[in-house]
Chains A and B, each alone.
Chain A
Amino acid sequence: MMPMRSVGEVFIAKRAMGAIKGLIGSIIILIILGLVGCARPTGYTKASSFLTGTKGYGYSDKRINSGEFSIVVLGNPSTSKARTAEIALLRAAHLTKEEGRTHFVIIKQKAETTERAVTISIPLFLGGVPVSVPVGEKTDKEPMAILLIRLLPLQPEYPPDALNAAAVIEQIGKHLE
């Protein structure tokens, strides 16, 4: 025979059940948000920095010397190589303007497909506490575009291989920004 529970015990049990339901709901929402986030191609955005000191998706750049820069774009698995190349070109144009110049030339460019090992985990509830348990791994393909550029000093005429930063922003900025 089941012992009779007091009103207080029933109230506490209901509250605990509500908290667990809320937790499960939050996990489902997070999973859906994660999936939706991954499904969209990488946009024109600066690569985020994680707390671990590693970079996320987006563009980043480094100064090689006074007039040369490297630009790298890391795209998520939903991003095409062509799109990462466009983001790199757009960043080159914006960088040129930020440095007070109007034209740049491309010294080198490279498009690569890189790999990232992704751990597949399932949530298990141990004593009511959700614990992520790894059950396997998959390898995602991610595009990477590299651009080395040289900024040209302001001058009346530019060589034929020079790119006008304003024109690049006008042409490809519309559908990326």
Chain B
Amino acid sequence: MIAMLGVLSGCATPGRSGHMVPESALLSSYSLDSPLRNAIAISKVGGGEKTNPLLASKVGNNELQEALRLSLSQCGFLSTSEVAAPFRLEVFLIELKQPAVGLTMIVTSAMRYKLTRSPDGQVVYDDIITASYQATMGDAFSGVHRLKLANEGSIRANIALFLQHLHSLNITKSPIQ
């Protein structure tokens, strides 16, 4: 029966990276003298889940990592060198709270962001960010697709909050400064 419902409503596919990137217009522009400018490398992404086509849409590690890479790049935070980056970012998807069914689907994501300064290993940012997004019947008629939109929107909102935190972070690139 589940398989039949899956066929009727369309198979579930994972969240799309491009749809989990915050719109650049919503983000404040970074300061040119920010120590984080072109300085962050993504060292680890975890907590994501693979999507079973017959079940609910999830967010996988690869898609999340790509969304983070695109988001950091868009804001000018991404380092061009992964080896020599002054800061390393670890992200863990703690929870993706999804409804089983519903007309309006509200998804809440909780992600841990841990930013470490490479030279001395000092943790300069470590926090859990939660964000929600709701997709309605107006967004998509198919429940499977509506849930995917809610997943993507929730991750997008979560990354946007993290980027806002980065903008307001008062840190130095080197421990000596």
Contact = CB atoms under 8 A, between A and B. Distances in A.
Contacts, number: 89
A131 to B, nearest CB: 16
Interface stretch (B21-29, B61-69, B95-103): B95-103
Interface in B32-83: 46-47, 52, 55-56, 58
A64 B95 CA distance: 12
- State the majority secondary structure of interface residues on A: strand
A112 B112 contact: no
Of the listed residues B2, B47, B128, the one surrounded by the most CB atoms of chain A closer than 10 A to its CB is B128
Nearest to A134: B103
B92 interface: yes
Contact of B132 (A62, A114, A119, A146): A114
Contacts of B95: 60, 70, 72, 144, 146
Given A134-B103, A137-B104, A148-B112, A54 B94 contact: no
Contacts of A146: 94-95, 110, 128, 130
- Across the A-B interface, the 9 shortest Cβ-Cβ residue pairs: A53-B55, A117-B104, A53-B56, A54-B98, A70-B94, A72-B95, A114-B108, A50-B100, A54-B100
Interface of B: 2, 12, 46-47, 52, 55-56, 58, 92, 94-95, 97-106, 108, 110, 112, 126-128, 130, 132, 134
